[in-house]
Structure 1
Amino acid sequence: MAALAWLALFLLGAGAVLLALAWRTWRAGGLPKARVVATDTRGWRRPSQPYYSPTWDLAGRPDYVLHHRGSLIPVEVKGGRTPREPYEGHMLQLGAYCLLLEEAEGRAPPYGLLRYPEATFRVPFDGRLRRRVVEVLEEMRAAEARGGIARGHQEPWRCRACGYRDVCDQRLEGPSGGY
């Protein structure tokens, strides 16, 4: 009977240690304690449908959408080196997701999160970011109206990773004649 009590005590202690480690890992991640309402990560659960905005003629799907304090918060996860400050392109992508969520929900997210391997940046979705995203969307549409946008690189690996590679007439061909 004493052995059973010791086993129960050991299991209780091990559970407490695991809970403390999970709590520390969550806090180190920089993400708020929130419910995940949508995901684009295929390994965790089935990906959510993309968001679409007829106003901006824009579609996209953040890596995660969190429900936190009554707001939907887009989260974009990036690999590679962690920058000192978020890259502008990443902030624009996050801002575009904020536009999509605003149209879908009727209310703009107050911020979005950029998660790098060693840091999470909280990016306010303010007037400045909104204006910059809209400006870039307008620049993209103008470039497309002028005759399209040429591929801006010579790196086959980028083509392999691109979601448009199957329909792109500018993709770089690999040694086998295609991807």
Structure 2
Amino acid sequence: MVAHDSRLWDACPCPDHAAVVVAVINLIEGVLLLLLASIGVFIFAIRRHYAIREVRDQYGIPEGELLYTDLDHPAEVLFSEKYRISGRPDYILRDEMTGDHIPVEVKSGRAKKPYWNHILQVAAYCLLVEEHYHTRVPYGVLVYGDGEQHRIDFTEDLRRQVLSTVDAMRECCAGTPVRRNHNASVRCRNCAYSDECRYCLGDM
């Protein structure tokens, strides 16, 4: 008879079958959870894509990669340390051909041509986008309620004018109170400062 050395048997690297089964089950569960998470992310991306497409179609937003939106949910307020101004454009797009960052402002009303105050607003957004994304902004876009789009070239002249307007506004705020320059009560009702304005027309 051949004697077996029990010490050699104990040292043999025989696998623990129960542990292997548990490890395989855990691996399968992990793969399934990862698969479910991937499906969830995919469904979210599809829904967001169609939601963005619906908003684009509704407001006539130009094509491009959507980096920022303030229409369907409140977005981060952009602030310029350099110019001490802040604001939230309705959209910021990145042109897929040039890589340019384009602020887009949507207005509910209609206009045959852009109003000057709307042009200055888009120009201010160009300043904010430049500082936030560290890139030169060549133009912004105004979209009115009828879907009419207007490209607002952010020229050096427009840059100077918007900065001059900002300085003038600061001087007004630091000086005498700004008086109302209209008699339209609806404008007062829609004004964010109506509760603080001594010249507010109220419910007239």
Give the TM-score normalised by the residue count of structure 1: 0.72
Larger Cα-atom Rg: 2
Residues 1:96 and 2:155 are matched in the alignment: no
1:173–1:140 Cα change, 3 Å: same
The residue aligned with 1:111 is: 139
The residue aligned with 2:81 is: 54
Q: CA deviation at 1:60?
A: 0.7
Match of 2:194 among 150, 154, 165: 165
C-alpha contact (below 8 Å) 1:74/1:98 kept by paired residues: yes
- Structure 1 segments unaligned to the other structure (5+ residues): 1-21
Match of 2:95 among 47, 68, 82: 68
Counterpart of 2:86 in 1: which secondary structure? strand
Counterpart CA distance in 1 for 2:89 and 2:164 is 21
Counterpart CA distance in 1 for 2:135 and 2:177 is 33
Q: CA deviation at 1:148?
A: 3.1
CA RMSD of aligned residues (A): 2.3
Counterpart CA distance in 2 for 1:34 and 1:57 is 29
Counterpart CA distance in 2 for 1:150 and 1:107 is 38
Q: In the TM superposition, what whole-angstrom CA distance separates every residue of 1:5-55 from its partner, at most 9, and x where no partner exists?
A: xxxxxxxxxxxxxxxxx9xx95x93x43212222221xx3x2211111122
Task: Letter of the 2:66 partner, please give it.
Answer: V
Counterpart of 1:95 in 2: which secondary structure? helix
Q: CA deviation at 1:92?
A: 0.5
Give the TM-score normalised by the residue count of structure 2: 0.64
Q: CA deviation at 1:130?
A: 0.4
Residues 1:142 and 2:178 are matched in the alignment: no
Task: Letter of the 1:32 partner, please give it.
Answer: P
Task: Letter of the 1:40 partner, please give it.
Answer: D
Counterpart CA distance in 1 for 2:192 and 2:101 is 25
Counterpart CA distance in 2 for 1:32 and 1:76 is 11
1:72–1:143 Cα change, 3 Å: same
Q: CA deviation at 1:63?
A: 1.3
Q: CA deviation at 1:168?
A: 3.3
Counterpart of 2:151 in 1: which secondary structure? strand
1:149–1:108 Cα change, 3 Å: farther
